């Protein structure tokens, strides 16, 4: 029997991706960028932000419910070379989530909406920021 919609709790996709990055890469990752000296000490740092996506809370003939989250992932590093290497690892870690369960959710599919690109950062900050947009289709576990 399918539980009533009010009883379903969708997983926090940001949390799922942050824990994946922490577990697989041991990079610092969060939804909030550290301030001051803590930021420099955290490099490479990955900021994960949900920027949209839709939740399907009712489907034809009672099929499983899912959340199609869109996430912005920003990698901050001390140099362009370090940022590029860290970004390649982050992309692979997110892609590896497909078909796995964690933090109350099961990842049905992952995809990349926009590939890595340099994103503007504060002038003279001596930090390189690369970002990309990923999609994850997740259902409650």
Strands 28-30 and 45-56: parallel
Q: pLDDT value at position 48? A: 98
Question: Which residues are bridge partners to 105 per DSSP?
Answer: 102, 140
Helix axes 13-25, 80-95, angle to 10 degrees: 120
Q: Domain ranges in the chain? A: 10-55+64-140
> According to the model, what pLDDT value does residue 65 have?
85
Q: Is the pLDDT of residue 5 over 70?
A: no
Structure-token match 């340099």, residue found: 118
What's the CA gap between 87 and 104, in Å, rounded? Answer: 26
pLDDT, tens only, 66-101: 999 999 999 999 999 999 999 999 999 999 999 999
- What is the spatial distance between Cα 74 and Cα 61, in angstroms, rounded to a whole number? 39
Supply the mean pLDDT for the chain: 90
Specify the 3-state DSSP secondary structure of 91: helix
Q: What is the CATH architecture of 10-55+64-140?
A: 2-Layer Sandwich (3.30)
Given a cut of 60, whether residue 4 has pLDDT beyond it is no
| Separation between Cα atoms, residue 104 and residue 32, nearest integer Å | 22
Helices and strands counted in the chain (H then E) = 3, 6
Which two structure tokens, joined as six digits, stand for 120?
């503007």
- Please state whether 58 falls in left (phi above 0), alpha (psi between -120 and 50) or beta: beta
Q: pTM above 0.75?
A: yes
**In a 3-state reduction of DSSP, which class is residue 21?**
helix
DSSP 2: P
């Amino acid at each position: 029997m399918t539980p009533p919609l009010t009883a379903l709790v969708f997983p926090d996709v940001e949390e799922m991706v942050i824990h994946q990055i922490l577990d697989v890469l041991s990079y610092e990752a969060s939804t909030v960028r550290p301030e001051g000296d803590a930021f420099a000490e955290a490099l490479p740092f990955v900021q994960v932000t949900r920027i949209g996506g839709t939740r399907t809370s009712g489907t034809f003939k009672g099929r499983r419910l899912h959340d199609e989250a869109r996430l912005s992932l920003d990698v901050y590093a001390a140099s362009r070379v370090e940022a590029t290497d860290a970004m390649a690892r982050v992309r692979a870690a997110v892609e590896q989530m497909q078909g796995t369960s964690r933090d109350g959710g099961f990842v049905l599919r992952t995809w990349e909406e926009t590939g890595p690109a340099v994103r503007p950062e504060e002038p003279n900050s001596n930090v390189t920021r690369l970002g990309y947009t990923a999609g994850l289709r997740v259902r409650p576990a």
